[in-house]
Chains A and B, each alone.
Chain A
Amino acid sequence: MAKANQKVHPLEELIRTERLPHIWCPGCGVGTVFSACLSAIQETGIDHKKFTMISGIGCSGRGAGYVKLDSFHTTHGRAIPFASGIKMANPSLNVIVFSGDGDLFAIGGNHFIHAARRNMDITVICINNFIYGMTGGQVAATTPHMDRSATTPYGNPETPFNLPLMAYASGATYVARWTMIHSRDLTDSFVEAINHRGFSFIEVLSPCPINYGRRNKIKSLNMLKMFADNTIIKNNADPAQLDIDFKKGIVLGKFVDIDKPTPDENYEKICAMRE
């Protein structure tokens, strides 16, 4: 608790301060994204009781453990089906999935595709740090080609996902990408996503200096510099052109924003229509 002469942190009411310090490493970007998410929750003006946060497993997956909301730290890859159960059972809740690229797109990839196809009315925030951070830096479905990791010591032979393209192709009705240094755009995007009816997806590029940067000889600040210099904001860009290639430049912005009914609305309508 803040002492009388201390300023209260603007997000204090949304943080389980008794759980600090957090587990995130120095130079990690998760905390910044987490703050942006909490700021967005505040900005919506919606009663906090109407929010719930669901995480999977991994560094980003610890988000649910620090937010002072009804929050769930589930099994690896399963945050989305857990969130879908919540949303369908109580559509009045704002359901935020806060997790990482390994969790959401390797082990949990199928759930992502299907929740997007359904236009499930949840907000999925994916912190993409290009690596499995918590387990010590193994190659992910998002690791750029030829990059080094604990399990690709000579370079990654595979190509990474283009996550916004996958979200769009699967049926997501709100798709955006930012980096963690674009914290103002990021917060605005989170507010939009929370208010959006349907499946909203925001990819946030974020540094993992310990387990990705170190192996690929990218210093912490240089990574942030790349996020600033090698990115271009291009709203409504073609999702097929959103491959991650720092040499070519990475496209950021809002790519999809479509209004479409959600499964909870449709289910209720169909049930009301029957004899």
Chain B
Amino acid sequence: MKPKVLTGEHFINGDIACAEGAIAAGCTFFGAYPITPATEVAERMSERLPDVCGVFIQMEDEIAAMTSILGAAWTGVKTMTATSGPGFSLMMETVGLSVVTETPCVVVNVQRGGPSTGLPTMGAQADMMQAKWGSHGDYEIIAIAPSSPQEMFDLTIEAFNLSEKYRVPVFIMSDEVVGHMSEKVVIPEAKEIKTIARIKPRGRKDQFKPFQPEENGVPPMPAIGDGYNVHVTGLTHDEQGYPVMSVEAQKDMMGRLLSKIRDNLDDIIRTEEYLLDDADIVIVSYGVSARTAFTAVDMAREMGIRVGLLRLITVWPFPEEMIRDLSKRVKGFVTVEINMGQISREVQRCVGSNVPSYLVGHAGGTVITPDEVINLIKEVFMVTNHHCINK
């Protein structure tokens, strides 16, 4: 039997690091369905969960996998599932149920090329908008993009913490390259790992309102069997959890579901800046593409071009204010991502007409090279001066 936290240095791939992060964070339930390139997360969880008295179950499809983790979460445990594009699509209806019932859970998407069956064994970052908008209705979720196996470990712990704190599904938007890449992963001592426990209700059980928020906008969450007799529904509901079909109830419920995220952006959003202080051109990137971007910044600097990087660790909620502020003092933006223009549109929306904003994208199946980024920068910022948007 292995301990909960495998303290030490490991040479493991991103998928396995993600599973170890989950175990270290206290995850004790995993609902699985195999899919390339996320299967290794499930395989590792099936091996490791018995070490921590946790439960692994392989369900009959991704809908069931996602639904099982919501049910399990209401017994008071931390839960996770992992998938890729087609499975992510199947999970979307249940993502909405997770949002509206405020059921914490972590969903890993090791992205591959799409649409449809696409490129099962080859990477992409083309599910970023689906992560934000894939389920019907308006809602806020949290999505994190790890750039390395080390971050697959660290940010999985972070994902559980945010999920417990805000009672939202948190997506780990990885990709095939990070998922299958093996690198050194340092796992700290158990006592150095900060985990957040679910807030349980206090006070009289007969007066408890399961969807009445506390100060941070989030209600405490009892477990089945605690004696609170909660009713939980996917219908629009009041603070008691009872269905109410009215314009006012919809407004109240939606308002809080959105504001518990939107009012806590400073606590949720994490970014990394690299040589941004004096930058003329800002590269915005995330996940595996941020690795390309770091090299591109160094190459540009060697050529005397002042390029900096804003790496999005949290992609959703989007760091709008930060990008808007930057747009007032730089000459332009370049978004680097393995899709045909998703986060680049968000950047464009925040930048507006302040400065030009471009995309270095790719249809998927491979990473973007630093040369492609440099070539675009040279072409549009050094040679011409036209206002091409999302080239």
Interface residue ranges, A against B (CB under 8 Å): 16, 19, 49-50, 52, 54, 64-65, 68-75, 78, 81-86, 88-90, 92-93, 110-111, 113-114, 263, 267, 270-271, 274-275
Contact = CB atoms under 8 A, between A and B. Distances in A.
Contacts of B243: 65, 73
Nearest to B96: A75
B59 A93 contact: no
A90 B67 CA distance: 16
B97 interface: yes
A84 B69 CA distance: 9
A19 B93 CA distance: 27
B36 to A, nearest CB: 22
Given A65-B231, A65-B242, A93-B75, 16 more contacts: A19-B242, A64-B233, A70-B74, A70-B228, A74-B70, A74-B97, A74-B234, A81-B65, A86-B72, A89-B29, A89-B55, A89-B77, A90-B223, A92-B225, A267-B57, A270-B50
Contact of A89 (B65, B71, B232, B234): B71
Contact of A70 (B61, B65, B77, B230): B230
18 contacts: A49-B227, A64-B233, A65-B231, A70-B224, A72-B233, A73-B243, A74-B70, A75-B97, A78-B67, A81-B65, A85-B57, A85-B69, A85-B71, A86-B72, A89-B77, A89-B79, A90-B75, A90-B225
Interface in B219-255: 223-235, 242-243
B71 A71 contact: no
Contacts of B227: 49
Identify the 6 closest CB pairs spanning chains A and B, nearest first: A85-B71, A85-B68, A89-B72, A81-B64, A73-B233, A271-B50
B60 interface: yes
The dominant DSSP class at the B interface is mixed
B55 A88 contact: yes
Contacts of A78: 63-64, 67, 94, 97
Contacts of B230: 70-71
Nearest to B55: A88
A75 B224 contact: no
A68 B69 contact: no
Contact of B231 (A50, A64, A270, A271): A64
A84 B56 CA distance: 12
A69 B227 CA distance: 8
Contacts of A270: 50
B31 interface: yes
B56 to A, nearest CB: 8
Contacts of A263: 57
B326 to A, nearest CB: 41
Interface string B1-32: 10000000000000000000000000011010
Contacts of A49: 225-227
A89 B60 contact: no
A70 B229 contact: yes
A74 B223 CA distance: 17
A49 B229 CA distance: 8
B221 to A, nearest CB: 12
Contacts of A271: 50, 53
Contacts of B234: 73-75
A69 B229 contact: yes
A82 B70 contact: yes
B1 to A, nearest CB: 8
